[in-house]
Structure 1
Amino acid sequence: MGVELLSPAGNLEKLRLAFAYGADAAYLGLSDFSLRSNAKNFTTDDLEQVRALKVGSGKRLYCTLNMLFDEANLALLKEQLPVIKTWPFDAFIISDIGLVPLLQDALGPSVELHLSTQASCTNSSSASMYQKMGFRRVILGRETPLEDIRRIKDANPDLELEVFVHGAMCMAYSGRCLLSSHLTGRSANQGDCSHTCRWNYQLLQSGELALEEEQRKGVYYPVIEQDGYTTILSSKDLCMIDHLQQLVDCGVDSLKIEGRMKSSYYVAVVTRAYRKALDALQTGDENWKTFRQDLFDISHREYSTGFFFGHGPVDPAMGQGIDKSTEQGYLRDYLFCGFIGTQVEPGIFALELKNQIRKGMTIEYISSDVHHIEDDCFCLLDEHLQPIEQADHGKVQYLKTDKSIQTGYIIRRETVVK
């Protein structure tokens, strides 16, 4: 097997899409122990469906136990280990070293362990130490530049290395920001980050400089300037799709997409774009660039190449500058509308909608291999197959079309007519 493409699965739907749209593996969290506690995550009620998705697929599945455990959570984990053992996990992603003996005792000494980016491993000596402790793979801190990745791999050739290639980044060592805990009492290290770095602030001058957050009028946070500059909190998103060959050349074994709390549509099109780009390294097929465009049409912040190339301006096309912060909010050109359901008659399909579609709109259908099919001549039907003007979430409705589509295709539409 070549370099692994690893996608996020915040729930069953996202897991299905990650596998269907080209991921070699997916990572998911159990509801009590995931660092993304606001994602739906998984419970024992999902076990059989997860097993059915995985069996026979050839895909791998990783369980994230990457929170920093306090005594109460550690006791809860010990209680649940017999149940966790029944899940079809190929590896466990952890950052708390105290879990190493617990997992080895409960699941066997050969249990596959992956070190979470939370551990901030960024050098060859640390990587070597973790390998000696029983880790098969290290997920490097997002702060690790390409030249250091190469050194780490050269020093530890039998250790698998995983890096994030797409998605949100922290304004701190990966996952260790305390800003949310300070301002809202919600700890990022316990999976409850309120993303305070993304909020809107204004700079006030009344005796001394201070920040005021948009929703907290009259609450001031002092600002200390150095050489006339102050910190900007919101980081750019990471996008390395144009540099996958350089990552492969450095010895990276797994390319990871961030986003267990992102939409199902995000999981599908980002996975698809990176699948096409990764395959193109072998085939030379330039068609992958068509799928690349989806990364700029989904909801995202301004892109950068993070710290892979150090701190200088590397990739102007991605908006990469000397800093990694952005003043822009989310950018989005397409709205995820839902899925094409079961075909009930030739050309008539059930709708599984998340957002409204209306007669006369131009919508698009996409799949793992079909970039998009435009349709502005579809008909919407109610539960009795009678024409209607619009279709909404949560209702029994159908779509009639002469386009060549199939059950499972995603429906999207542009947010602004161009």
Structure 2
Amino acid sequence: MSVELLSPAGNFEKLAVAFDYGADAAYMGLSDFSLRANAHNFGEGDLAKVVALKQKTGKKLYCAMNILFHEDQIQDLKQQIPEIKKWPFDAFIISDIGLVPIIREAFGDSVELHLSTQASCMNSSSASVYRSLGFSRVILGRETSLSEIRKIKDAVPDLQLETFVHGAMCMAYSGRCLLSSFLTGRSGNQGDCSHTCRWDYQLLQSGNLALEEKQRPGVYYPISEQDGYTTILSSKDLCMIDHVKDLVDAGIDSLKIEGRMKSPYYVAVVTRAYKKAMEALETGDASWMEYRDDLMNISHREYSTGFFYGHGPVDPAMGESIDTSTQSGYLRDYLFCGFINEEVQEHVWSMDLRNQIKVGQTLEYIGNDVLKLEDSDFILLDEKFQEVFQADHCKVQYLKTELPVKKGYIIRREIGK
């Protein structure tokens, strides 16, 4: 399949996991010029490892430089161009058009430019303009529906289209609020804001918590509450795992997973699920559904299909669901425990632990092509290869197991087991 699977890489470990678990490409940020400033990002110390990994895998790497630049940041960027040139980037993701001449001057006219979703490109006229400016790809605004995507692709067929298919969404990004569109179908981005945030709401507590708006009695907007605070402004998570074919048929060239600030475990589980779903379109192999179900075992909000099938998950008039979300919530609550590293003796493996494991627990090992291996008979060893009851983070300890694990497998356990 020519459609690309693009995964997040908040640091080198996540980059390696993304490639290992099926991503065709990954996107990363440099420390000063990325919207995910808290994702650790990459620095000079990672350069050699990134170059080696890219040479080994042959996969693509995109640099996110998608902040909106202030004047002093433009000057900083120009000064750092010599260092940026050392990185093996295949494209730059930008939202500030002022970067176009700077990047072209530094990297040549053939440099690949990808327009960030922050630019909110959602129509063929805008897409055509960006193509004429030298962009080879547009990362569409999250409000773009499947029918609109098809029209954009038909109008500008030589422009690659990328869209987010999984992960966190935000009610307001780049100062553009989506709350009005979600609750009334009237978009503030179209000059038709209903000022939804200023409405009068009351909290109803019969059964599940919900908000009821004063002028819409009987229309309920479900919410959650913890410690007296509601999450009305916290949107559902995007999940298009059941609709990959619709995305491909609409003309999408790259399926993008959100999550540079998420854990390596999240990157692994989500990447392999979408990879299996994409492969199943060609092979017809139904086993991908098992990997799909594993998406319910990672931390997430309620899943939604966002704006792909209309104006959002709430009907403008009655507040009823019109999306085609995955219906199930959490299947199991898992704890990410760490990674399998090197086999130091037959059936004895070093580990990179993030959370404690103990003898008697049931561990699961997952790999890029292995859904899970359950193990209740493992043995833990200390640095002198003596048996111990528990293994902890930041200690030299080993795992002995008869199961066919490999380097890079993830160790997890179901909480409560």
Quickly name the TM-score band, shorter chain normalised: 0.7 to 0.9
Contact 1:22 1:271 in 2 (8 A): yes
Aligned to 1:72: 72
Give the deviation of 1:311 after TM superposition: 3.3
Give the deviation of 1:230 after TM superposition: 9.9
1:29-108 alignment to 2 at 5 Å?
29-108=29-108
1:17-416 alignment to 2 at 5 Å?
17-172=17-172, 174-176=173-175, 227=216, 232-311=232-311, 321-322=321-322, 333-416=333-416
Question: CA separation in 2, counterparts of 1:312 and 1:384?
Answer: 58
1:250-295, CA deviations, whole angstroms, 9 ceiling, x for partnerless residues? 1100000000000000001100000010011011111111111111
Question: CA separation in 2, counterparts of 1:343 and 1:165?
Answer: 36
Give the deviation of 1:86 after TM superposition: 1.5
Moved beyond 2 Å, runs of 4+: 174-179, 208-211, 223-232, 311-314, 320-325, 329-332
Give the deviation of 1:388 after TM superposition: 1.1
In structure 2, do the counterparts of structure 1 residues 175 and 334 end up closer, same or farther at CA, with 3 Å as the change threshold?
farther
Give the deviation of 1:21 after TM superposition: 0.5
Question: CA separation in 1, counterparts of 2:324 and 2:263?
Answer: 24
Give the deviation of 1:56 after TM superposition: 3.9
1:169-194, CA deviations, whole angstroms, 9 ceiling, x for partnerless residues? 0102x454689xxxxxxxxxxxxxxx
Contact 1:30 1:42 in 2 (8 A): yes
Gap runs ≥5 in structure 2: 179-199, 204-211, 222-231, 315-319
The code of the aligned residue for 1:74 comes to I
Gap runs ≥5 in structure 1: 180-207, 212-222, 315-319
Q: Please report the TM-score for the alignment, with normalisation by the length of structure 1.
A: 0.84
Question: CA separation in 2, counterparts of 1:324 and 1:287?
Answer: 22
Aligned to 1:205: none
In structure 2, do the counterparts of structure 1 residues 234 and 312 end up closer, same or farther at CA, with 3 Å as the change threshold?
closer
1:78-101, CA deviations, whole angstroms, 9 ceiling, x for partnerless residues? 100111112100000000010011
Give the deviation of 1:209 after TM superposition: 7.2
Contact 1:35 1:65 in 2 (8 A): yes
Contact 1:334 1:414 in 2 (8 A): yes
1:112-135, CA deviations, whole angstroms, 9 ceiling, x for partnerless residues? 000000001111111111111110
Contact 1:300 1:331 in 2 (8 A): no
Aligned to 2:183: none
Structure 2 counterpart SS, 1:293: helix
Structure 2 counterpart SS, 1:408: coil
The code of the aligned residue for 2:39 comes to A
Contact 1:8 1:15 in 2 (8 A): yes
Q: CA RMSD in A?
A: 2.7
Which deviates more from structure 2 when the two are superposed, residues 110-119 or residues 406-415? 406-415
Contact 1:9 1:15 in 2 (8 A): yes
The code of the aligned residue for 1:35 comes to L
Give the deviation of 1:334 after TM superposition: 1.2
Question: CA separation in 1, counterparts of 2:62 and 2:48?
Answer: 16
